[in-house]
Structure 1
Amino acid sequence: MVLPVVVQSAFTVLRQIEPVLVLEQLGSTLFDTALQMVVQDRSLNASYPGLSREASQQRAMTDFFMTYNLIIRLVPVLPALLLGWLGDRGWRRAPIVVPLAGYLLNRLGLLLVVLLRLPLELMFGAGVVFGLSGGFCAYWPGVMTLAALGSSNTDRSKVLMRVELLYGAAGLLGSLVSGHLFLLYSSSLGNGTVLLTVSTLLHLLCLIHSIVLLQVKEVSVSEPEADSPFLPAEPREAPVEVPVPVRRNLWNIVLLFLAAMLYVSAVGGAMEILGIFVLKAPLSWSATQVGYGNAAGCVIFLTSFLGVLWFRRCVSDVSLILIGMLSFASGIYFMSFVTETYMFYLARSLSLFALIPMPTIRSLLSQQVPASSCGTTLTSLQMALKFAGLAYIPAFTKIYQRTLDWFPGFVFTLASIITVLGMIPVSIVGCRSPRRRQYERIQGD
């Protein structure tokens, strides 16, 4: 009697989005370490006039990642919009299944590059294929939409942060083993083969799971907006007395978009360089240390989740965002002066709550729109962040290349400044929100 209940409960869990999330992140963290180390190996013989061997290697790596990351951010724009539109028309599985197919092909591309000794530039083509599938730009809003639709307004921040927690826990596990798996090889295959094979198999399993087992909640496009869980409920006895000012909501959306773009620009630009920064002297990390460093970043998912659970009892969502931004700003500023490995982990420890802002911003945004347009709104945010990447990726790359000799950590100081600027629009939203809640309470009475 107990066994069927356990089996039924396990099957119910398997049909949720969480197993897909975990499998994808495990495969992605293995791939990230592999790509980082493969690019380093292929850049050992790089040579630029007037630059030392190490500076030439750093420039070759930054140039590759700049081009690759621009491709995977620009190409997904239209496909992600289409998938987001299909999701809001009832095809909720589309923004998840199609990008997962792109993930699989992209990982398979790097595996072939390593196995067949193909030119590294072929990864640019793999990036195009990945982008045409919608990539992360479509996949993550699809995941967040399913999580948001299954939660209430009061619990949405916690639910979305729980998704981030699972994402980080899977990344932590994958990062811890990635460096060790990278070193497993045969004389005929070389470094990274085992790691990339495992990553590809995980993505294959994830794709099959999303097609066969994943269950999604369908939301009708004709669903009444008044009954939407994303809008405040209006009193039925006097609906005309509690209007939600459209202009006010639009301003909140614009401010939240601006804050998200500034914050992601700071985080994305800093993380873009950090993976390359640790490979040069004086740190000069190995593959195992790279995996541990990535794991330290994944620990932040756990601490950010615990921070949400703790702080949300006494502060608003806006205050949560500001706490997270301040945490990242202090940690990345300290990273500017890191010269030893222990200093790197100290800097990361200051960013314990750095992942709180984005899921909380998504939570606030989802409350400004009806359920029928939630997917489109979150996809639009993800697209805006991708367009921001078209600016901050080359900007941070070129600044790092030009400051490499006199202050390599300058880009981290710049990221800290941008984060502080991102706190301004969030503070404005915080100043507006109390007045709105007070207005609705008086009218309701």
Structure 2
Amino acid sequence: MTTWSWCQSAFGVVHRVEPLVVLQQLGTSLFDTALLMVVKDRCANATEDDQQRAMSDFYMVYNLIVQLMPIVPALLLAKVGDRGWRRAPVVVPLCGYLVSTVALLQVVLLQLPIQVMFAAAVLLGTSGGFCAYWPGVMTLVSLGSEAESRSKVMMRVELMYGVAGLLGSLLSGHVFLLYSSSIGHGTVLLSVCTLLHLLSLIQATMLLQVRQVSSEQEESSPLLPHSNSGPPEMFSRKNTVNVILLFSAAILYGSSVGGAIEILGIFVIKEPLHWNVTQVGYGNAAGFAIFLTSFLGALAFRRCVSDVTLILIGMISFATGIYFMSLVTTSYMFYLSRSLTLFALIPLPTIRSLLSQQVSTSLCGITLTVLQLVLRFAALAYIPAFTKLYQRTLGWFPGFVFTISSILAVLGMFPISVIAWRRSQPISSEETTETRHVDEEE
């Protein structure tokens, strides 16, 4: 009987979104390390500064393609998802990830130019990429959770994402070095990566269960606290302001994090750190460990603070840690700086949770996708800006970009502070009068 119960539980787990997230992120973390080292190998004959410029230029073009191409496909997939095909925003991008991994494998095996990965980035973007995939996952999570516990459930999924990335990063450096006389470095790693992406696609297509929402539930609009009564028109105006503030905070904080991470990968390869592939994997693992600390921090703080305060805590954590990253000269200083960002992953999933509570269920998918698209548009500005700033300060202060990132994170705290102030304000007399007027008409 116990064995049967265990089998039922295990069978139930494979139908949930968490195994999908784990498989996909394991594959992606392996792919990221492989791509970085392949790019480095192709620039090995240049001087260190020229290598840094060549690598940063490659990643600037590659990431701009990845950020720009998914905009229209992600919107289309979001609309398809909101019309009932909830798997589409998840399954289609997984196909793109699989194709991209196979392309890098061919670059290694056939010694193709690294610029082939630009074409692979176009294919990944055409499938919607992360811009469609992650909102699709978050939409499934939102549909399967109650409003009161939604941010906690989202953070749990983020935790699984981070743990998978942690494990993948720890293994990636060692697996990258495995090769035989007939194949080169990275072939085994990319083969495993391809298998993981294939398994995630199979799980999403055949095993993933999606909660069906009735039309009555779709018409309901779960709102933030302090808005449980009153006319819908008043809620709409109040929610619109909150949505704008949440979007503003997400843009500023997302630009801060994205710009810093954009440079961090190539920053650790140059002097004075000068990391090898194994150390790069450990550094990536330290970044993914933040998913665990952020989840535990969210669980601990949630008992005594609101979601808005949680966001502020995460922003302060990242701003502090990334500022000290600009002063890093040794490996132990790098890990100390990373330890200061232990709550840095709290803000964005909590912002998504608050956004999902401002709209009806039928608009949840498109709202979260629009947020992801807005972050992509922001990336079109901060990726080249951070790249060129890093190149121009490479000789005198290469960590200057991290100082700029810290400033952006601090600026992102202002819209969240306004939301905190708005939530603390009592309902105005004008709103009360409007409420009474509507009640009299009824």
TM-score category, normalised to shorter length: over 0.9
Q: Does 2:166 correspond to 1:178? A: no
Q: How does 1:102-117 map to 2 (within 5 A)?
A: 102-117=96-111
Q: Tell me if structure 2 keeps the 8 A contact 1:300–1:354.
A: yes
Aligned to 2:183: 189
- 2:314 is aligned, of 324, 329, 348, to 324
- List 4+ stretches of structure 1 deviating above 3 A: 222-235, 239-244, 436-444
Q: How does 1:340-379 map to 2 (within 5 A)?
A: 340-379=330-369
Q: Does 2:113 correspond to 1:97? A: no
- 2:216 is aligned, of 209, 220, 223, to 223
Distance apart, 1:433 and its partner CA: 1.4
- 1:280 is aligned, of 270, 273, 282, to 270
Give distance in 2, aligned partners of 1:226 and 1:78: 26
Aligned to 1:291: 281
Aligned to 2:56: 62
Q: How does 1:229-248 map to 2 (within 5 A)?
A: 229=222, 244-248=234-238
Structure 1: 5+ residue runs without aligned partners?
47-52
Distance apart, 1:227 and its partner CA: 3.5
Give distance in 1, aligned partners of 2:428 and 2:10: 45
Aligned to 2:377: 387
Identity of aligned residues (%): 66
- 2:403 is aligned, of 405, 410, 413, to 413
C-alpha distance 84-56 of structure 1, shift in aligned 2 (>3 A): same
Q: Tell me if structure 2 keeps the 8 A contact 1:231–1:369.
A: no
Aligned to 2:439: none
Residues 381-401 of structure 1, C-alpha deviations (whole Å, 9 max, x = no match) = 000000000000000000000
Aligned to 2:328: 338
Aligned to 1:5: 5
Q: Tell me if structure 1 keeps the 8 A contact 2:221–2:358.
A: no
TM-score normalised to the size of structure 2? 0.94
Give distance in 1, aligned partners of 2:148 and 2:234: 18
Distance apart, 1:233 and its partner CA: 11
Q: Tell me if structure 2 keeps the 8 A contact 1:92–1:217.
A: no
Letter matched to residue 353 of structure 2: S
Q: What secondary structure does 1:302 align onto? A: helix
Residues 94-129 of structure 1, C-alpha deviations (whole Å, 9 max, x = no match) = 000000000000010000000000000000000000
Q: Does 2:271 correspond to 1:271? A: no
Give distance in 2, aligned partners of 1:84 and 1:401: 37
Q: What secondary structure does 1:155 align onto? A: helix
Q: Does 2:117 correspond to 1:127? A: no
Q: What secondary structure does 1:368 align onto? A: coil
C-alpha distance 226-106 of structure 1, shift in aligned 2 (>3 A): closer
Structure 2: 5+ residue runs without aligned partners?
437-442
Q: Does 2:128 correspond to 1:138? A: no
Q: What secondary structure does 2:210 align onto? A: coil
Distance apart, 1:72 and its partner CA: 0.6
Distance apart, 1:441 and its partner CA: 12
Q: What secondary structure does 2:284 align onto? A: helix
Give distance in 2, aligned partners of 1:82 and 1:322: 33
Q: Give the total of aligned pairs.
A: 434
Give distance in 2, aligned partners of 1:403 and 1:331: 20
TM-score normalised to the size of structure 1? 0.94
Aligned to 2:201: 207
Residues 73-106 of structure 1, C-alpha deviations (whole Å, 9 max, x = no match) = 1000000000000110000000000000000000
